[in-house]
Amino acid sequence: MPRKRLNAQEPPRKRNRTGCNKCRARKVRCDEQKPVCSQCHAKGFECETSIKLKWEQDYTSAGRAFGRAGLWSKNAAEKSTVSSPCIHVNDEEIFWIQTPRISSYSFVNATVGNVEQLTTLDSIAWEIGSVLDVVRVSDRDDTSSTASLSPWLSTREPLFVPHQRMIPSALSMLPGLSNPMHSSLLSYYLEKICPITVPGSVNKSPFVNLVLPFSISSSPAVLEALLALAACHRSKNDAAFRSASLRLGDNVLRTLRRRLSAEDPLRVALDPETLVIMMILCQYEIINECDKRWVVHLRGARDLIRIRRNARLSLGTGQSSNELIEFAEKYFAFHDVIGRTACGEEPIFGIDFWTSDGEDTDAWLGCSSGLVSILCEITELSRQHRSRPSLSLLPEFQSQAASLERRLCGLHQRVFDEEDDTLQLSAELKRLVAELYLHCSLNGATPAMPLVVGHVQQILRLISVLLEHEVLAGLSWPLFVAAVELEPMADLEWAERQDLPHEVPNYARPFVLYALNRLRGSIANITKTRSVIERVWLLRSQHDLSEIHPSLTKDQNDWERYVSPLCGGLSLA
């Protein structure tokens, strides 16, 4: 209660606003004597005076009155006219913003460091490389009217294969080993790794039908390489297998070096065991996320295959050995083709390796050899365009691009087992991706074009269906191509929310991150793939907020500007 005045006629004394801190804290009157007021002197306190600034904006934003305004007044007439600054809202007027679901694989578009890069043109030029203007093609409102960017071809709608039934997985028979850890790793190889090397379980993986029998019957070194591969893959989720992976991999390399030093190098090169070991070590490095070492095995395999073909020797003692060598050569050649679609580098394996008229769908490739042959020609034509951007204006270049598009449109990929739904979906998915890659790398398509948007939606739908079937094989390349061709300024809704399971995002970017997270258990280098995708997204966003460096030329297409400079050594097969 306020203290009563002794003299009622005496006017009330106002509180001072420059008293010391102790008196203000104790709410007593300070006489403001210097250097020590009488209250602090009597109590033995340290007398200090300071000023505390208060800002009206802070009080208003917090819904509080600033100072004494609106709280009270000694004059009743004034009190009735003073209103509180607080705003009262009914429950019906409150609109709650929905909090988005944040997952462990979510993506932050930009950080402070990324924003700082926008102030430096040199850093932008270093990120993009040879940045060139995109060849713009006039967009039309009708998506179907832009199904082809080539002036030589007519329109065509991309095809979507509807959802198919689930195919159950099968169990494998495991041979026994004396070492319990080795037996466990071999079981892991057969039950975990081999099923994810092919789309579905109807077709057996070559790693089961060809590689494993050869390792058990003819090559302990290959068997040890398979155990190293299993330990490396298992160490991604269980660090306890990391040491076993390194030890087994080192033993395989020691064995190979010992043979090269003790035996005739030509004889070692012609031994099928050498090529198979290099194939497994290449896959080992991809799983181990070593971005450059797997390319070393790829180049070594090219020289090894060249020696074998030039010598015209027998590929083995029997038909199984011949099939094994053919698979090993196909393994390296396919990794070369798919990797070059992103980076546009010179080929390691030539176009003549693939049969252009092959229509039979290969279970391990997930498509036909004819489709791979077309991809080889697209990448080679794209590489020529990258070295000479003016080629796109020549009629010969446009004719070749139109011919490749025509072949893709009319490509029939035959699957012998009509019940193998996942293999049919995989083959159609890769054909659609090849079409999108052709338009972006040869015809100057950009993410904003209706043609690209339509293809991306179809590709994401097929990827979603295959993930629903628990298919992991061969999805990293389709997902990569679709992801790097997303329009940064548009949040693409690729499917209706009610048509998807609860955990599957219906917007493109979140779905890409969701799918990459699902593919972490595959045998692809998902960490590097996601890193490149995020950098492409960031560069596209920065391009809209910054100016291109004036020293850069202006003839490259969108793919060569944003994607190729970031994809050196990237494994996508």
Q: Tell me: do 264 and 152 sit in the same domain.
A: no
What contacts 24+ positions apart, CB below 8 Å, involve 311-317?
A: 311/270, 313/270, 315/272, 316/272
Residue 378, pLDDT score: 93
Contacts of 74 (CB under 8 A, 6+ apart): none
User: Which of these, 27, 26, 48, 51, lies nearest to 37 by C-alpha position?
Assistant: 48
Q: Tell me: do 153 and 247 sit in the same domain.
A: no
Residue 341, pLDDT score: 87
Q: DSSP letters of 368-381?
A: EHHHHHHHHHHHHH
Q: Tell me: do 160 and 194 sit in the same domain.
A: no
User: Which of these, 306, 312, 356, lies nearest to 332 by C-alpha position?
Assistant: 306
CA distance 558 to 556: 7
Residue 133, pLDDT score: 35
Alpha carbon 211 to its chain centroid, in Å, reads: 30
Residue 142, pLDDT score: 41
Q: Tell me: do 165 and 179 sit in the same domain.
A: no
Report residues of the chain scoring pLDDT below 70: 1-17, 67-102, 104-177, 201-203, 290-291, 312-321, 544-554
Peptide bond into 35 cis (omega under 30): yes
Residue 320, pLDDT score: 41
User: Which of these, 243, 269, 202, lies nearest to 417 by C-alpha position?
Assistant: 202
Answer whether 368's CB lies under 8 Å from 411's CB.
yes
- Cα–Cα distances in Å, from 504 out to 103, 136, 324, 498? 12, 34, 39, 11
- Nearest 5 degrees, angle CA 462-CA 500-CA 533? 55
CA distance 66 to 212: 80
Q: Tell me: do 405 and 378 sit in the same domain.
A: yes
Q: Locate tokens 């966003």: which residue?
A: 541
Q: Tell me: do 467 and 501 sit in the same domain.
A: yes
- Cα–Cα distances in Å, from 283 out to 327, 473, 572? 14, 14, 12
User: Number of structural domains, the chain?
Assistant: 3
Residue 168, pLDDT score: 35
Among 45, 72, 87, the domain boundary falls at: 87
Q: Is 140 helix (H, G, I), strand (E, B) or coil?
A: coil
Q: Counting Cβ atoms within 10 Å, is residue 391 exposed (0-12), middle (13-18) or buried (19+)?
A: middle
Q: Tell me: do 397 and 430 sit in the same domain.
A: yes
CA distance 445 to 438: 9
**Structural domain of residue 536, as residue ranges?**
111-171+374-573
Residue 160, pLDDT score: 35
Q: Tell me: do 438 and 570 sit in the same domain.
A: yes
Q: Is residue 13 part of a domain?
A: no
Q: Tell me: do 47 and 115 sit in the same domain.
A: no
Among 290, 323, 353, the domain boundary falls at: 353
**Could you tell me the CATH number of the domain that includes residue 67?**
4.10.240
Rg of the chain, C-alpha, whole Å: 34
Alpha helical stretches, state H, 178-270: 180-188, 206, 212-217, 220-234, 242-262, 265-270
CA distance 438 to 434: 6
Q: Tell me: do 572 and 543 sit in the same domain.
A: yes
Name the DSSP letter for residue 413. Answer: -
Q: Tell me: do 261 and 400 sit in the same domain.
A: no
Hey, CA dihedral for 137, 143, 148, 151, is it positive or negative? negative
CA distance 157 to 148: 9
